[in-house]
A and B are shown apart, each in its own frame.
Chain A
Amino acid sequence: MRIDKTSGTQRSAPGRPRKLTARLSGSDRTFRGIATAGGVFVLILMGLVGAFLAYRAWEALHKAGWSFLTTQQWNPDGGGFGIAAVMIGTFLIAGVAVVVGVPLALGTALYISEYAPRRVQRGLITVIDLMAAVPSIVFGLWGWQLLQWKVVSLSRWISNWFYWIPLFHVDGVARDDPLASPTYFTSSSFAAGLVVALMITPIAGSIMREAFSQAPLGEREGAYALGATRWGMIRAVVLPFGRGAIVGGTMLGLGRALGETIAVLLIISPVYQIQPHILQKGTSSISALIALLIREATPFGVSALMAAGLALFAMTLLVNFAASVIVSRSRSGAVSEA
């Protein structure tokens, strides 16, 4: 009876939508409250990291002014300090890592999604995840004790033939000097970058693989039906489909490479001047600078290191934000949402 009446009144006003209100029960309201509190707490905590870095860095930034970006030396308690040298060192190491790591990641991702037999695919994915979880100290020990000595001959060969490119020049070593001490070539940006490359390979690779494996089956079969070889299919379907993920994975790897601390700290020998020769001993990075100096720093020195940390933070945030935008805008990201 009552139901009929309600529907009758509704029919009399057809244009107006019925107001829908849901009254939550007590337990639901509590649940929502707790969940929201958790979310807000995480937001505040994460925001605090950035805000606090900025707050503590203010003192040093205020004192240094714009020279913070252009000064090479790091001597906060007397003389000047700035991130020109460490910033360039950070980018050189990360650059080597990306140049070496991204082809490796791309090859691994393509192999797992396109070439590997179905039986081993799952196992390989686990192995790549494992590689992402191997502690950075293990990579660092390996690079420090073994790799940096093994790449000396490669460094020597490159500097021998491409010395006219400033990047590959090595000061203090005559050309074609087979007796030059290998210590000219160790502890370089190149060695550190190679180790970091192996660390970013699984991160970039897993993002690329995920996108590649979602490339639509119909288009793959269409390419095959038109007579494409497997590589032709990959070039026509898989790679364009995963382009966003390739760029995004590269950026994520770059972000990780910029912030890598312990492996870099073990390998490099720090210098606080711009050192653009990647094969030569001595380089620096922001994270290694912080890890090296924070324990002995004066209060103002801590503030200066905070400023360096803030610069690193801003860079990684920028890179990661760009990466996430690119990944989510690309077609592969849109499909994964469904």
Chain B
Amino acid sequence: MYFGSYLLALATVAAVLSAVGYFFVAREQKAYALAAKWFYYLMTLLVWAAIGYLVYLFLNDRFEYSYVSGYSSSDLYTNYKITSLWAGQEGSFLLWAGLGVLLGLWVKAKAKEQPGWVMFFYMIGQLFLFTLMNISSPFALNPVTPVDGRGLNPLLQNFWMQIHPPIIFLGYASTFVLFAFAMAALAAKRYDSWVKYAFPWAIFSVCALGAGIFLGGYWAYETLGWGGYWSWDPVENASLVPWMGSIALVHGMLIERSRGAFKKTNLFLAITAFLMVIYGTFLTRSGVLADFSVHSFIDLGMNIYLVLFLIGFTLLSYGLLVIRGKSIKSNESDKSPLSREFSVYLGMLFIILSAFLVLMGMSSPLLTRIVGDPSAVDISFYVKTNLPIGIILGLILGMSALVAWKPLIMKDFLRRLPVPIAISIIIAVIANFQGVDNFSHLIFIFTGVFALTANLTRYVVNIKSKGIFFFGSDLIHTGFAMMLLGVVISSGYSSHAKTTLEQGIPQDIQGFKITFTGVERLSENREEVHLNIESGSDTYHANPLFIWSQQGLVRNPYIKKFIFYDLYISPEELKERALSDSDRTVTLTRGQIAQIEGCEMKFIEFDAGSHMEGSALSIGAVVEVKLPDGDTLKIEPRYKISGDNRVELEPAFIQGLNKNAFLLKLNADEGMVLLGITDKANPDGFSPKNALIVEVTRKPFINLVWLGLVLIILGSGFSAYRRIKEIKN
């Protein structure tokens, strides 16, 4: 046990005491409130002291700690030494707990009703993190202190990777808040007011999880070089499922706030979003998927705790929901199919369904283990099941923009229908001519464009009367539809070409003339590849990167963005090429004779003076050549350095052999020359050549993904602005 471990152990004791205190507060024993509060503060302080101490260890290169030596090295930049804190499993649990206790301070201040229950259930959630944090502690020591650390994987030395984990853990931590409010409502049998307090947190969850997912995806696209931003890996799905759950919850809460409906559904969704975070943690951290996921951690001895917590939380929360179920009275929601409420209901249904199918896919090794050989599903599973849902969601999204919150007359609805439908049909037909031949993709494009145009139209039409901030939700829906379109088109219709580029020889790839011009060594472990890309009269320069590290080879792609597509250049391997058979070199010292190309060559002397041109330096090598037929001749290839330090090699033609001789290198002190004999009129053949194995991918309409994202962010900002203004008025 060392200082850091003591901090964690004490923090855990304080957390337990605080939880017990809040339990008594919840049971109307108000005397415990003060103690519970102060134990909470003490816990917060201790957790952050532990985080601070770990940062201190990183900054001071304390490699006796295996977490520090595993993720840092003495030559690492200071800012990366700090972010190495969350580079691995142990530190990321600590960070997660740290963010959790901070959010708790805010929850404590805002929970006006049943604060005891809210904080009790919040602490129950925190104890999960505290348990894991103690079991896989970042303060474990190395048996032998290494001289230097292993260093941080170069891929993590990236801006997006520095901020992605804290944001995703903030998202995870926020689902604990939703759980606490929902459970408190159930425990205290007060089902009507919790949504008021939990609603901002649900929005917070959607934003944090969404931002974390997008940052991770953007990082993958920009730096990983496999050309994608999403690979349906369990670690990715573990954040996707709670995100979809919180999206459904926000929509359900909107209806509950306006009509008092969906009370049970919302309680269920708030609890489930939290349980999905716990389940995702179990799947990815317990080692049960170790054989199926590249990201999964091996079991660090916390498997049993993860299972116990998962079962405990599930029984406690769903059990309480079932027991209380009969006493929860909801209002009826509007069931007219032409109401916005009805489309919100359908939208929620399909989002939950999609989340459920993703959950099924990521759990497949466990599900199939029950019936036989454990099997993981192929990525096609996610596409097969989610494409039809995407199609239907597009339709629902479009419809939701065409119907108002109150029931409207059929005539009104029919009047709004033709324009979006017509645009969607036109775009789908154009897509078909452009090569989209898959029927379900065409249908998807149709409904996606329908959703996009219907929402965008509603937004634009209402700007005049309501201003740009009022219908932020329409902008979010527009962006969402746009993003889905971008995802399907860019992944379904990207074209790959893998080829070997010989240095200096252009090749036509993906409609571009691409030339591999050379390699530049930037540092000991970084090599930059230079490529020229020509298209008509335009020339671009691309420089993908190879980085070698203890963690393996990293290939940084180069992405050339165009309006309608990205050209994604992923370097795979460099190969050194030997000289061709017709290019021969020979090293000679003064007076030495060598056999080459069937003749005898003898280096006589240097000739420095006779060819002086201006200020340029020019040295010749006088070589005596005895041809195979016995004739002897003298040649004098020259090595020139001009005023601006350019080297020019002047060949000497060997009559009777039909070859050129070049003076490639010389050493005047030792009287040594390097001669090159070739058929060619230039010495290019003698500079060492490389070949680059490269994958060039054309990704159509990927900008729709990022543009959609911008609209979502913009729409969210507008909505937030509108709500804040409403509260102030």
A and B: bona fide binding partners: no
